[in-house]
Amino acid sequence: MLKTKFKRHTTAFLIIALASIFLYPVAQSGLITFTWSLLGLVILAALLVLTTK
Amino acid sequence: MAIVASVPILVILVLMIGFRWGAARAGAAGYLAAFFIAVVFFGAGADVLAFAHTKAFLLTIDVLFIIWAAFLMYSVAEEAGAIKTIGRLLPALTRDRGMQALLIGWVFASFLQGAGGFGVPVAVTAPILISLGFTPLSAVLIPSIGHGWAVTFGSMGSSFNAMLSATGLSASSLAPESALFLGLACVLTGPMVAHAADGWNGVKRLLLPALVLGVVMGAVQLAIAAGAGLWNLGAFMGGLAGLAVSVWVVRWGGPGKGVERSERKPLMLALSAYIVLIVFTVVFLLIPPIKNWLDQAFIQIQFPETVTALGYISPAGVNRPIHIFTHAGAILVYTSLVSYFIYHRAGMYLPGAGKCILRMTVKSMMSSSLSIALMVSMATVMQECGMTEALAQGLAGAVGMGFPLIAPWIGGIGAFMTGSNTNSNVVFAGLQKRTAELLSYSVPTVLAGQTAGAALASVTAPAKVVVGTSTAGMDGKEGEVLRVLVGYTGLLVMFTSLLTGLAIFFGM
């Protein structure tokens, strides 16, 4: 599915952007589990970049 | 704690220099290290990390808006053949090889850095210099040395904007000294380019024109960035002024055949995009009723106070507003659209050029956008959970009085390892600011040293050197270029280091 470097980078970038946007209202509402889930998504995106040579 | 806090930065340094990883991949590793350390050693909770990420996202948009739009505008001009036309007609102004090196490898390369950047100055001018008889090594060296001074206020001021966003300080407080340091470095750059082109003989012969051009470009950048407040146009106008004065200065080395009458119209058309940019910038930023009306649309978010488990408080506040319609990136988008229309009407595009421009922009920018997003996230997480504070305290304790002298070197190493002045400012500007505050030194002066050191050393970043060697047919000889280039840029960073020290200790 994410065969090229460009696709993997684009996917990672979009995940980081969307998660960062939603983190604000989620954290303000005090939804701790959701907050950690979104932070986990950002970490997954970073891991995706890390494993892309 | 300072040693633990330095780990994310060391991770990037080791991976990029030692293992030659790209900026995106190393940025991801640095980010993950910062996240882990923030949670385990600095007691960052979900709220601290969440707001840090939203702040990082806003900062990323602020920086990427300019970078994407500047590359779009460059692609619009490049696809129309405008850059090639300007580059083709410049050598006709003089027969003197040394003067050609100054004109193309310094003045034109600086103008290109002002308008676009992203490795373009070397990629465009190195082949021109080779066609004029320069060796491939000289052809890469000359523009690499030549455009460093224009990096901070080049690319429509994206690196300077990154420093503003990372520190939360105003352009009016940071621009004067930053532009002054880089302007003085510009004056020194001319003789260095002459040396790279023709040795000490070239320096002696071309000293006067080099000094005249250097003073003009440096002074115009200072006047535009600090005087007029148009920091996004600083290097661009400096380069443009250099090109204008070159027409007169190059005659001292023996005039060339000149630009023929039939070539004047294509030249004016090629320059039209840049003329539109100047007009739009003046109209949108300098006419108060228009600016005030457009400034009503902006993005600004109120952040609450956050506290880590160790008690580090990040006070409540708002981010630097992102003015959607008067942002430097927005002005570049308007310019790109109008320029595309002009070039299209003049029949300068092949069918499908529009799609080609958009595809080229997205493809070229994605990797660097990701590296910026990750490094910004890393720096913001470090800032919000007290890692930057710990690092600043450690640095202040370790170097104390000598800090002003090493500040430009920190910026320079940051640019070398991250590949750009922008990334260096994102990663280190907050740290430099806090260390200067702890030591009671002038923050604008230290940050001027940071960005000047980063700009001048950014030309030695492996990614940039590879662009140069690949366009000059020197693939695999990056080490050869780097060995010579480091000597010149090292002198320039040392010069900036002395300037920072003089300004701090003697209030010059």
pLDDT tens per residue, range B107-159: 989 988 887 776 778 877 887 888 788 999 999 999 999 999 999 998 888 89
pLDDT of residue B345: 94
Tell me the average pLDDT across B411-416: 84
Tell me the average pLDDT across B55-73: 84
pLDDT of residue B66 exceeding 70, the answer is: yes
pLDDT of residue B418: 67
CA distance B33 to B4: 10
Tell me the average pLDDT across B236-241: 93
- Give B476-488 pLDDT, tens digit per residue: 677 788 888 989 9
Q: Is B391 helix (H, G, I), strand (E, B) or coil?
A: helix
pLDDT of residue B234: 93
pLDDT of residue B297: 92
For B376, counting Cβ atoms within 10 Å of its Cβ (0-12 exposed, 13-18 middle, 19+ buried), the class is: buried
Give me the residue from A5, A26, A49 closest to B28, CB to CB. Answer: A49
Mean pLDDT of the residues in chain B: 87
Which residues have CB under 8 Å from B109's CB, separation 6+?
B121, B122, B124, B125, B142, B143, B146, B147
Tell me the average pLDDT across B446-460: 94
A–B CB contacts, 8 A cutoff, strictly below: 81
Q: Name the B residues in 233-292 with CB < 8 Å from any A CB.
A: none
B46 contacts A24? CB cut-off 8 A: no
A26 contacts B50? CB cut-off 8 A: yes
B46 contacts A36? CB cut-off 8 A: yes
Tell me the average pLDDT across B33-37: 96
Nearest CA in chain A to B60: A17
pLDDT of residue B121: 83
A27 contacts B370? CB cut-off 8 A: no
CA distance B488 to B494: 10
pLDDT of residue B257 exceeding 80, the answer is: no
Q: Binning pLDDT at 50, 70 and 90, where does residue B408 land?
A: very high
pLDDT of residue B173 exceeding 80, the answer is: yes
pLDDT of residue B505 exceeding 60, the answer is: yes
Nearest CA in chain A to B20: A53
pLDDT of residue B259 exceeding 80, the answer is: no
Between residues B222 and B17, which one has the greater pLDDT? B222
- Secondary structure letter of residue B255 according to DSSP: B
B56 contacts A20? CB cut-off 8 A: yes
- Percentage of residues in chain B having pLDDT higher than 90: 44
The β-bridge relationship of strands B313-314 and B298-299 is unpaired
Tell me the average pLDDT across B220-237: 92
CA distance B263 to B266: 6
Q: Name the A residues in 3-32 with CB < 8 Å from any B CB.
A: 5-6, 9-10, 12-13, 16-17, 19-21, 23-24, 26-28, 32
pLDDT of residue B508 exceeding 60, the answer is: no
pLDDT of residue B39: 96
Give me the residue from A20, A28, A36 closest to B57, CB to CB. Answer: A20
- With an 8 Å Cβ cutoff, is B32 touching chain A? yes
Quick check: pTM over 0.90?
A: no
Tell me the average pLDDT across B232-261: 82
Between residues B180 and B254, which one has the greater pLDDT? B180
